[in-house]
Structure 1
């Protein structure tokens, strides 16, 4: 049999995943676990826990759905994980009497499982403890639990067991203290704002402390090979933290840091983590490019370093992710398919080429018509998801991309009938997505931004204002306020300047954003 060492298992047992070894997937016990004597537990294909963290060959941690004062995680055995991973009939007796051993604690609670059918009350055979979690105090356990239940779960459009903000991050912070754990603590503390968290310090103060600690730890471990994977994930979360705190332009520094790590340590980093980081930054940079001016006015000329940065970023992403994707599956991390993301990037590139006169106008039109046809074909295919929210989000991205294409490549003003018709449909989808009391999750910010930028009357502006009002109420800590402030500035510039009337200036928002130096992350 082929040597099982050297290649990490993607769908094997938990032990092989933890040791980053290939699993032969023989059931009930794989060859590796038979040889090493470990407990062999496989994730259920259709009914798996959202994530299970292995802290030892026979010990696992599962997050609670509800906050527990003494601990944030349930420390359990491999056998209990196997039991929880199986479908249970509602009439099944409590697992405390199923032969797994005497119950050491009477605590019962709901576990964070999906979509396992479990009894309403479960008595498990292990006590609640914080074993395996290296935290300095109970407050930090609560902050980690908040990340699991709220922040990590809301970083995607649709919650699945593929949520990499949980499955990639949690296993790496539970067993060691480092920049990634400090960043998670900073993210949670930042959302608690004025609430006292520990030692009388409010959340925003504690968030600044943890962020400073994370940056220091990251700097000290930056060039250590063994820390590269954790450091790369830290760059992703630090960028997310800066974006959520007003879309600070410093998120681009973390992008640079991530690529520096990939250039030096890529062979030693888990490919799943690499792909996660690349997709995270590429999507945000793709949307940022839609705000770059096509023609830089002489008085606001782009510096050589900034121009080099734009060129370098585009070069990095194309080298690392290759040719445009043909995968039309909707990504729960972005809210649209990779095809739509590639089309948006191509529109920006095409607009730049058009203004630079690097290709003929005829070729520009041919490529633009081809992109328009691709958008239509995508719309004629039913979305490959049963999640209505995710499907509506994908459609909002498609209609926003179509509007962007008409303005950037077909030179249509925002009062053109075709743009107004698409704007109306786009707003219909956005009003289905952004509603009061919506469960907290990602929402399509870029389509909402495009809708705001292409308002041609007060009625359209009023509809956009209503959506931002809902978002600001439901997302008090995010980049909603920053994007809303940018849109108000764009509207005011149009109202006050005759030269920036919407009927004559199609992409005036790009010049305004560049003039003020904003580096928006429209996610």
Structure 2
């Protein structure tokens, strides 16, 4: 249909398929245009997709070819084949890989095979590539590096330690795969940031080296000292509160130094507690007047880790922590950082305060005697508070349903949930042992004490120790609690067997140190018991100057 003005029909871009095919103007009448009705054709409208973009020579790849040509590098083993035969087969299909060759725009020749200079092949400029005449590098093939690493700037020994940190160290104290992933995603980017300059990389390497040493896979003491020196020397504490990123780096550094001393067995006096106290102080300072909901993901993760370290250190002898980093929450779920329900944390704090009051009461007894009215009042208050705490633990133990952190509950397997519940119950009985023995002063033969020791061993025996993050990695604290209150040989043997399995599987230095302490304590306990003296482990550990970390 010619146009009304007699000119050339304009092309229709939104018309029907027939009009566009015939390059004629379509009146776009629906369901059928007038042109198709006149011709008796089926009128079909379809969506036309137009692929736009820059011309090839102006694209990124096109610009790249201005300075580099694509070369076909033979991949067959017969690289010394006859040149004439290769020229005859130039138009045949050849198996090749893509490489880059310099063009006349280059300022120097392209050097191939730098490892073997005598057999290297140089492609001189200018080089032209075209479909009809592809560039061929037919001399001896160059050295082609496979699987290039973004850690190539690190020595091979350091790359090995980094890999060990990711796959072994963090797994050894992560109760869940999400926690394990969180440690890697938090520490690796910070440690490998070239602009960080905060000593995190040598501290991470030190943690990995200490763990390998406990496994018998590392004995380079000089390098270990160098790692510690570099991490401390490069650690620059920022002005807390001015730069959140720098605050996160400093907090991560303090916690990894704490971990290093734990991996070493916690044998240096107050070393791991010193770093933990530094991390706690930083968290308190950066949290003043700020909502935790506005924190970065890194800060939230580090806060939860710091909280778990602090809570587990509360019941140690002369603990300097009281739960300053504990985040208030109305939810009571089994925390994958702690291994027990969050409702038990206030009872940890209460036991800590009761132990302090018991020490004060003992000092008062030496001054005024047991019959003094103040001593009687204080004893009554301690006993009432202790009984309330015991009832609270038993009430929590009686719960039949358990929940987990909202972020991981949906993908926890029934086996993992069951193991978390067993671990949670073991921690409950561990708290009961502290209340029975250290606050109430019950003897080790008390039925309540024996029942809790037996329950801890039973629940911990239900945990699987696997080569992955799992609840079993956190059994040391309740296992140590049971060991300290075990006076029968079969209970002691069970405790040692579980500790041996834990150390063999995960190689944590604090496990062997805790086992050594228990064996020494049992010997002394039996000797004192034969004389009618009930020697508490907390008294013995202070007398001998032992330093333990049970994380």
TM-score (structure 2 length as normaliser): 0.59
Instruction: Give the gaps of 5 or more residues in structure 1.
Output: 1-102, 106-126, 294-308
Deviation at 1:145, TM superposition (A): 2.2
Matched, 1:330 2:328: no
Rounded to whole Å, the distance in 2 between the matches of 1:253 and 1:160 is 28
Residues 477 and 363 of structure 1: is their aligned pair in 2 closer, same or farther, counting only changes over 3 Å? closer
Rounded to whole Å, the distance in 1 between the matches of 2:215 and 2:392 is 49
Rounded to whole Å, the distance in 2 between the matches of 1:271 and 1:470 is 38
Query: Which residue does the alignment assign to 1:3?
Result: none
Alignment of 1:341-380 (within 5 A): 341-357=345-361, 360-379=378-397, 380=399
Residue deviations 1:3-53 (CA, integer Å, cap 9, x gap): xxxxxxxxxxxxxxxxxxxxxxxxxxxxxxxxxxxxxxxxxxxxxxxxxxx
Deviation at 1:287, TM superposition (A): 3.6
Deviation at 1:135, TM superposition (A): 4.3
Deviation at 1:454, TM superposition (A): 0.6
Matched, 1:211 2:215: no
Matched, 1:415 2:445: yes
Matched, 1:472 2:503: yes
Residue deviations 1:182-231 (CA, integer Å, cap 9, x gap): 2111122233339999xxx9555433322221111114768794533112
CA contact (8 A) 1:161 1:167 kept: no
Alignment of 1:438-449 (within 5 A): 439=468, 441=470, 442-449=473-480
Alignment of 1:5-16 (within 5 A): none
CA contact (8 A) 2:177 2:469 kept: no
Rounded to whole Å, the distance in 1 between the matches of 2:258 and 2:531 is 33
Deviation at 1:458, TM superposition (A): 1.6
**1:243 paired residue among 253, 256, 262:** 262
Residues 352 and 452 of structure 1: is their aligned pair in 2 closer, same or farther, counting only changes over 3 Å? same
CA contact (8 A) 1:164 1:276 kept: yes
Rounded to whole Å, the distance in 2 between the matches of 1:169 and 1:383 is 31
Residues 383 and 194 of structure 1: is their aligned pair in 2 closer, same or farther, counting only changes over 3 Å? closer
Query: Which residue does the alignment assign to 2:316?
Result: 291
Deviation at 1:241, TM superposition (A): 1.0
Q: Secondary structure at the match of 2:317?
A: coil
Residue deviations 1:486-518 (CA, integer Å, cap 9, x gap): 1112112112235875xx53x711111111222
Over alpha carbons, which structure has the higher Rg? Answer: 2
Aligned residues: 371
Rounded to whole Å, the distance in 1 between the matches of 2:335 and 2:252 is 19
Deviation at 1:161, TM superposition (A): 5.8
Query: Which residue does the alignment assign to 1:130?
Result: 149
Q: Secondary structure at the match of 1:383?
A: coil
Matched, 1:234 2:265: no
Matched, 1:520 2:520: no
Deviation at 1:260, TM superposition (A): 4.6
Matched, 1:340 2:317: no
CA contact (8 A) 1:188 1:207 kept: no
Rounded to whole Å, the distance in 1 between the matches of 2:502 and 2:317 is 25
CA contact (8 A) 2:266 2:547 kept: yes
Deviation at 1:278, TM superposition (A): 4.6
Matched, 1:487 2:518: yes
Instruction: Give the gaps of 5 or more residues in structure 2.
Output: 1-96, 100-145, 362-373, 405-413
CA contact (8 A) 2:174 2:469 kept: no
Deviation at 1:409, TM superposition (A): 3.2
Query: Which residue does the alignment assign to 1:462?
Result: 493
CA contact (8 A) 1:134 1:174 kept: no
Rounded to whole Å, the distance in 1 between the matches of 2:446 and 2:190 is 52
Q: Secondary structure at the match of 1:495?
A: helix
CA contact (8 A) 2:499 2:515 kept: yes
Query: Which residue does the alignment assign to 1:164?
Result: 182
Deviation at 1:446, TM superposition (A): 1.1
